[in-house]
């Protein structure tokens, strides 16, 4: 056995644990430092590639918008887009340079097995930069052709198509390089995750080694630590032998009983709160059910009225454009851009159906007759006669449709509301804020033997009788203000001139307007 002074083994154990722990901390710091630097560079590289691709797409969109604006002779928009294109060309070159710097920094930190891929990526980016230089010169040439003041008949779309044909190699290069950049960076992330995982295994090995050395050294110095261990053993035995004299079991029983009583009181309080909450939830569910019922009635009525307004209010300009130019028009502000074929159906005045394709063919075949046409549009209240101005453009066909007359809109609303009320199984009345009748269904009109126009603007007999009973009227109004719904029985004069009680439900609409304020449902079953 080695001859070591007393306390020497303990010092050796402390030294080994400190040395191995420091080695573990240094290795962890090294790998995490490398991983954090690589993570930053990879994120910077992916960000710059995405930013360059975004600048390129924005530049293409602005050029398309410039073509359309110059064709429509919008001088302010043309000036703004021309300056924006020049700024974005410089911004694209700047992003490509930052992208190259990020790849070069990543190349310096990449492991040996990834350096070749990073170098290939750098070469592809240099090739892309050369394509961007050609793209810049082609764009300047396109702007010169567009703004040539000596040209009397500028061929905007012809120049644009020639410019767009030259973008195919650049589009392919951008798309390929951006996707490869993301894929390669993800591979590097996975590789460094594996390296960081190795540090955990290294820590485990160091811990096991330190414990093993500590046990071995303790066994070598067993005689030195034998006396303290025996003293500790005797102390524990003495405490165990004295436990029965100093502590009483009854004390534990009293403490347990107090804790049990407190827990039971808490459980009772929780049960009471649970019962209260269940009652509150049930009441709220009933109220929610009633609100959903009210909302369904109001929503059905308002949606029908809105549908009538939409179908009878065609205003502004509608542009039917070539599907090939959809990308150019995306984001470009026009009054209304939509496909008419999915919204309305045209008819000639002789009631022949007119499809949208047929209208386009007729307008193209006879341009001298396409300035103004009188057509019919099918709506919920019958055919609507509109005047349509048609212009043939290079990008498609431009329609200008005047507003429908207010009389036709009112007629459509009236027909829709009547058809809505006739769909109910019970008698339904729509009243304004002064309890005057706005609309009644045919069942009510036949029951009172009066014409519909004689009831319009007057109060219904039930409400007229209710207004004479001041106490009952105040009770109904207070209930309506609080709950927006009242249900009960009112007196009515029957056909035999006798007072009978009928069930009545009065609701306040969720969105009161000039189209209605109160909805009254009478059940005479």
**What are 105-140's pLDDT values in tens digits?**
767 766 666 677 677 777 777 777 777 777 777 778
pLDDT over 60 (residue 12): yes
Q: What is the pLDDT of residue 306?
A: 43
Q: What is the pLDDT of residue 140?
A: 80
SS3 at position 56: helix
Q: In sequence order, what are the beta bridge partners of 391?
A: 398
Q: Where does the pLDDT of residue 196 fall: very low under 50, low under 70, confident under 90, or very high at 90 and above?
A: low
> Whose CA is closest to 462, among 480, 483, 488, 441?
488
pLDDT over 70 (residue 446): no
Q: How far is CA 282 from the centre of its chain?
A: 33
SS3 at position 187: helix
- When pLDDT is averaged across residues 351-355 and rounded to a whole number, the result is 64
pLDDT over 50 (residue 182): yes
Q: What is the pLDDT of residue 246?
A: 43
pLDDT over 50 (residue 434): yes
Q: Residue 404 contacts by C-beta under 8 Å, 6 or more apart in sequence?
A: 312, 313, 314, 384, 386
DSSP 245-286: HH--HHHHHHHHHHHHHHHHHHHHHHHHHHHHHHHHHHHHHH
Can you give the pTM of this predicted structure? 0.34
> Whose CA is closest to 136, among 195, 193, 86?
86
Which alpha helices (DSSP H) does 166-246 contain, by range? 168-220, 222-246
- When pLDDT is averaged across residues 297-303 and rounded to a whole number, the result is 51
Q: What is the pLDDT of residue 49?
A: 75
Q: Are 13 and 214 in contact (CB under 8 A)?
A: yes
Task: Report the alpha-carbon distance of residue 514 to residue 499 in Å, rounded.
Answer: 33
Q: Where does the pLDDT of residue 421 fall: very low under 50, low under 70, confident under 90, or very high at 90 and above?
A: very low
Kind and range of the H or E run holding 491: strand 485-493
**Between residues 423 and 66, which one has the greater pLDDT?**
66
pLDDT over 70 (residue 311): no
pLDDT over 50 (residue 356): yes
Q: What is the pLDDT of residue 400?
A: 63
Phi/psi at 37 (5° precision): -65, -45
pLDDT over 70 (residue 472): yes
Q: What is the pLDDT of residue 324?
A: 39
CA distances from 120 to 93, 117, 126, 132, 184 (A): 20, 5, 10, 18, 11
- When pLDDT is averaged across residues 330-341 and rounded to a whole number, the result is 35
pLDDT over 70 (residue 191): no
DSSP 360-429: HHHHHH-GGG-SEEEEEEEETTEEEEEEEEEEEETTEEEEEEPPPPHHHHHHHHHHHHHHHHHTSSSEEE
Q: What is the pLDDT of residue 34?
A: 72
pLDDT over 60 (residue 508): yes
Q: What is the pLDDT of residue 98?
A: 76
Judged by average pLDDT, the poorest of 174-188, 233-247, 279-293, 459-473 is 233-247
Judged by average pLDDT, the poorest of 40-44, 86-90, 319-323, 435-439 is 319-323
Q: Where does the pLDDT of residue 274 fall: very low under 50, low under 70, confident under 90, or very high at 90 and above?
A: confident
pLDDT over 80 (residue 5): no
Q: What is the pLDDT of residue 451?
A: 44
370, 376, 380, 382: CA torsion to nearest 10:
170
**Average pLDDT along the chain:** 66
Judged by average pLDDT, the poorest of 149-158, 362-371, 475-484 is 149-158
Q: What angle do CA 163, 164, 166 make, to 5 degrees?
A: 70
């Amino acid at each position: 056995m080695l001859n070591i002074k007393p306390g020497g083994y303990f010092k050796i154990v402390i030294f080994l644990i400190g040395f191995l722990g420091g080695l573990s901390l240094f290795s962890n710091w090294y790998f995490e430092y490398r991983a954090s630097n690589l993570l930053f560079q990879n994120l910077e590289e992916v960000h710059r590639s995405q930013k360059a691709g975004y600048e390129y797409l924005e530049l293409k969109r602005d050029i398309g918008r410039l073509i359309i604006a110059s064709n429509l002779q919008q001088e302010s928009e043309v000036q703004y887009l021309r300056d924006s294109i020049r700024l974005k060309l410089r911004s694209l070159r700047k992003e490509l340079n930052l992208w190259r710097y990020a790849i070069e920094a990543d190349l310096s930190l990449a492991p040996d097995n990834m350096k070749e891929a990073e170098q290939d990526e750098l070469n592809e980016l240099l090739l892309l930069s050369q394509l961007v230089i050609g793209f810049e010169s082609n764009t300047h040439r396109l702007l010169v052709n567009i703004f040539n003041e000596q040209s009397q008949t500028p061929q905007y779309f012809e120049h644009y198509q020639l410019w767009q044909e030259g973008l195919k190699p650049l589009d392919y290069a951008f798309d390929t390089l951006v996707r490869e950049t993301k894929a390669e960076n993800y591979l590097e992330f996975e590789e460094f995750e594996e390296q960081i995982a190795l540090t955990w295994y290294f820590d485990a090995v160091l811990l096991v080694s330190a414990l093993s050395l500590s046990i071995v050294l303790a066994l070598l110095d067993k005689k030195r630590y034998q006396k303290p261990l025996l003293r500790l053993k005797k102390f524990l035995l003495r405490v165990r032998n004295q436990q029965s004299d100093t502590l009483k079991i009854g004390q534990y029983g009293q403490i347990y009983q107090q804790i049990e009583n407190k827990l039971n009181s808490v459980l009772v309080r929780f049960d009471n709160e649970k019962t209260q909450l269940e009652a509150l939830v049930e009441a709220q569910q009933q109220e929610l059910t009633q609100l959903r019922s009210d909302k369904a009635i109001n929503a059905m009525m308002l949606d029908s009225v809105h549908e009538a307004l939409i179908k009878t209010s065609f205003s502004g300009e509608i542009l039917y454009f070539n599907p090939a130019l959809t990308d150019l028009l995306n984001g470009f502000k026009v009054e209304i851009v939509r496909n008419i074929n999915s919204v309305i159906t045209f008819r000639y005045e002789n009631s022949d159906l007119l499809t949208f394709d047929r209208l386009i063919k007729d307008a193209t075949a006879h341009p001298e007759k396409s300035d103004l046409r009188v057509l019919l549009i099918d709506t919920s209240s019958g055919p609507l006669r509109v005047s349509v101005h048609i212009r043939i453009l290079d990008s498609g066909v431009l329609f200008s449709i005047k507003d429908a007359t207010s009389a036709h809109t009112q007629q459509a609303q009236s027909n829709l509301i009547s058809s809505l009320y006739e769909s109910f199984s019970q008698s339904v009345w729509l009243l304004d804020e002064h309890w005057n009748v706005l609309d009644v269904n045919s069942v009510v009109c036949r029951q009172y033997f009066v014409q519909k126009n004689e009831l319009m603007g007057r109060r219904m007999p039930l409400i007229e009788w209710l207004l004479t009973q001041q106490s009952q009227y105040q009770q109904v109004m207070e209930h309506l203000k609080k709950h927006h719904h009242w249900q009960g029985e009112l007196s009515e004069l029957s056909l035999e001139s006798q007072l009978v009680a009928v069930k009545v439900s009065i609701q306040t609409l969720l969105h009161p307007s000039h189209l209605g304020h109160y909805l009254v449902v009478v059940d005479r079953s």
